[in-house]
Structure 1
Amino acid sequence: MSDKGHIELERQIDSITVGVRHRKDPGDLNALMKSIEEVGLLQPVTITPDGVLICGWRRLEALRRLGRRTLNVWVRSGISDQLSHLLAQQDENEQRKPLSPVETARLYAEIKMLEQEDAQRRMAATQFGGGGRDGGASGSGDSPEPGGDARTRAAQRLTGRDASQRLEQTNWIESVSKDETLGESVREFAANMLTEIDGGAPVSPAYKRVKAAVELATQPTPPSQEEQDEVARLAAEALKRVQEEENAQRLRALRSKAKRAPKHHSPRSFVLMWSELEGWTTLYDVAELAAALKDDDWARFERVVAETIELRDQLREARSAAASA
């Protein structure tokens, strides 16, 4: 993400878009409003080039209540399109597709960086602009701490609560999956854990497993072959769980689609398909197939065969009923 930005003077307050993901209650603004009246707003709020508010909602609200119509803003470029859209939402239903846990963690990291930048600028405004009264930061608004508060605000912006630990852990797992200094089995294990998290698995157990795998792979003495095999086994098990869940989701989707609006092919299509399949069982070597088929391949084959047998029985019964009618 680019760190470019610039100050824009005399921005119309009403031109700034504030999305629904900002907290609803700004709290007591009296001290902040008093500070702004006395020394001005030394630290501008931060917006995107499109005028979407990123940081400084309390400062913006304080200026509104003071009857101000314009303000100085820090225009932050380099904001991802996904984050810009999320910040600009005015309607909860506008986001038709909910964010996945991994997507949420990525946007959390981006918002946290922006919050930290804003806090650092406010801290500089306090140091060089003089201290405000009532503990205020010369009209800066929120606490200028650049660390934990930024994490909390970023998490609350996305989830409505302080889920920063879970989001930090998710991002750490993703960093492991991309770390070229680690072995392939560790990176694959981390990637599979991310897929499980996106599928609804809890983050903390996945984080502990990946952390253990990283510690094992980076210990001073090279891991034994048995330990390397154990990491590979865990990665394979995680991948198998992911594949099984994906297959189950596809099956549920197919069943749901069939219940919603079944669209049957024509009898002619049925006849042509089975004409093409006639004699297909002689085209394969059984021993070769047995050695080559993976578990999910075999499961799919058995499922299709079972569905075919069920259709055969239904057809046989329907034909008998039609013949006796």
Structure 2
Amino acid sequence: MSDPGHFEVERTIDSITIGVRHRTDLGDLQALKESIENLGLLQPITITPDGTLLCGRRRLEAVKELGWRSVRVWVRSGISDDLKGLMALQDENLLHKPFSPIESEALYRELKKVLAEDAAQRQEATQFGAGAAEGNGENHGADDSSAPSRPGDARDQAAILVTGANAHQRLERIGRIKDVADDPTRPAHVRKLASDSLDQINNGAPVSSTYERVMDLARQAEADPSLPDLDALAEEALKRICEPRTRRTNPSGTPRKSEWSTRSFVLMWTDMDGWWTHYDAAEIGTELKDAEWELLKRMHETLTAFVEEARDARKTTMPTAATAS
């Protein structure tokens, strides 16, 4: 019996490597041993081609205690060298350097997939075992645990094996940022922020706030694809700083309708609210280059004129609101 990425063989128990990352508190194995004696090992353990244990620590120990010399195993191909090295560790000193947050996420993602596959196979084997034992009213379920109690089990196990702690939420967030950075369908400025954020996380930036910043921008871009890339706008403005500025009009002489929606305007200014609290005016005044200073002055002048024009229109169309402006 085989499976894509797997093949099943008989392997001597002594040839299987058990790393320190596997749990040592295996609990009571008696029910599992009785199940295996009655029904056999319905679900093989999973190892790498070089004999490193990936899944099935309790199953392996149970057959050892039963005196088995060999056991059926799934050999799982396509495992990265980093994951094989992590799972085979016999001494923490063998890990020459700690994994970076991005490396940890990659290992977590890979191991989570392997554990989820094993859980699905165990669930199928447990159902088969239940049916086989139905005649005598017993459910031995020759497995090292019941079917997964919740979808997060593989995530919890993978996080603990990779990091030594139940840090799956942190790793999932890093993974989401990486998915955004690698998604060619997303706007370039969203992907750039995600990519830059991964570098910042590797350099010690907090994951939670960095994740929220990336997801907020991604959600804004999804809600209104017309939202501008502010970095690109700034670069374009600097290139055109010396060009004469005239307000574009329709052939009739009336101003053109906005190219961007009112919604994009609200989102942009809401996002920028309070920006001045993050800068020192004296520092900005002394450190801006001439072209950058001219851009700041032009933005101030045009914003003032824009607000005055918008206020006049508001007074005309919303007289009750005029006094509040």
TM-score normalized with structure 1 length: 0.66
The residue aligned with 1:177 is 181
The reply on whether 1:160 has 2:193 as its aligned counterpart is no
On the 8 A contact 2:105/2:171 being kept in 1, the answer is yes
- Output aligned runs, 1:116-131, within 5 Å: 116-130=116-130
Q: Which residue of 2 aligns with 1:304?
A: none
Q: 1:173 is matched by which residue type in structure 2?
A: I
3-state SS of 1:74 partner: strand
Tell me the percent identity. 48
**Alpha-carbon distance between aligned partners in 1 of 2:19 and 2:127, rounded to the nearest angstrom:** 31
* 1:203 alignment counterpart: 207
In the alignment, residue 8 of structure 1 is paired with which amino acid? V
Q: 1:211 to 1:72 in 2, by over 3 A?
A: same
Aligned to 2:42: 42
Paired position in structure 1 for 2:260: none
Which residue of the partner structure matches residue 6 of structure 2? 5
Q: How far has the Cα of 1:144 moved from its partner?
A: 2.2
Q: In the alignment, what sits opposite 1:252? A: none
CA contact (8 A) 2:178 2:195 kept: yes
The structural deviation recorded for 1:173 is 0.5
Aligned to 1:229: 230
Offset, 1:211: 0.5
Note if 1:84 corresponds to 2:87: no
Q: Using the alignment, how far apart are the partners of 1:202 and 1:136 within structure 2?
A: 47
Q: Quick one: distance in 2 between partners of 1:172 and 1:232?
A: 27
Partner secondary structure for residue 59 of structure 2: helix
Match among 118, 123, 145 for residue 142 of structure 1: 145
Count residues in correspondence.
Answer: 232
| 1:204-245 deviation line (CA, Å, top 9, x unaligned) | 1111111101001111x33333xx317988xxxxxxxxxxxx
Q: What is the SS of the residue equivalent to 2:75?
A: strand
| Whole-Å separation in 2 of the counterparts to 1:213 and 1:137 | 51
Deviation at 1:89, TM superposition (A): 1.2
Contact 1:43 1:122 in 2 (8 A): yes
AA aligned to 2:41 is L
Letter in 1 for 2:87: L
Secondary structure of 2:7's counterpart equals: strand
Q: Retained in 1: the 8 A contact 2:126–2:146?
A: no
8 Å Cα contact 1:186-1:231 kept in structure 2:
no
Offset, 1:128 = 2.4
CA distance in 2, matches of 1:89, 1:104: 15
Distance 2:46 2:219 in 1: 40
Match of 1:46, SS state, is strand
Give the counterpart letter for 2:49 in structure 1. P
Give the Cα–Cα distance (whole angstroms) in 2 for the partners of residues 49 and 182 of structure 1.
38
Tell me the amino acid that sits aligned with residue 157 of structure 1.
L
Q: Quick check: 1:52–1:84 contact (8 Å CA) kept in 2?
A: yes
Q: Deviations over 1:24-62 (max 9, x none)?
A: 211221211121122111000000010000001111111
TM-score between both structures, scaled by the size of structure 2: 0.66
* Equivalent residue number for residue 26 of structure 2: 26
Say which SS state the counterpart of residue 23 (structure 2) adopts. Answer: coil
Specify which structure has the higher proportion of helix: 1
| Corresponding letter in the other structure for 2:174 | T
Say if 1:231 and 1:53 are closer, same or farther in 2 by CA, change over 3 A: farther
Aligned partners of 1:91, 1:208: CA distance in 2, in Å? 37
| Matched position secondary structure for 1:8 | strand
Residue 130 of structure 1 aligns to a residue in which SS?
helix
Matches within 5 A, 1:105-116: 105-116=105-116
* Aligned counterparts of 1:167 and 1:136: Cα–Cα separation in 2: 37
Report the equivalent of 1:102: 102
Unpaired stretches in structure 2, ≥5 consecutive residues: 235-288, 292-325
2:7–2:74 Cα contact (<8 Å) kept = yes
Backbone CA RMSD of aligned residues: 2.6
CA distance in 2 between counterparts of 1:77 and 1:172 reads: 26
Secondary structure of the residue that 2:146 maps to in structure 1? coil
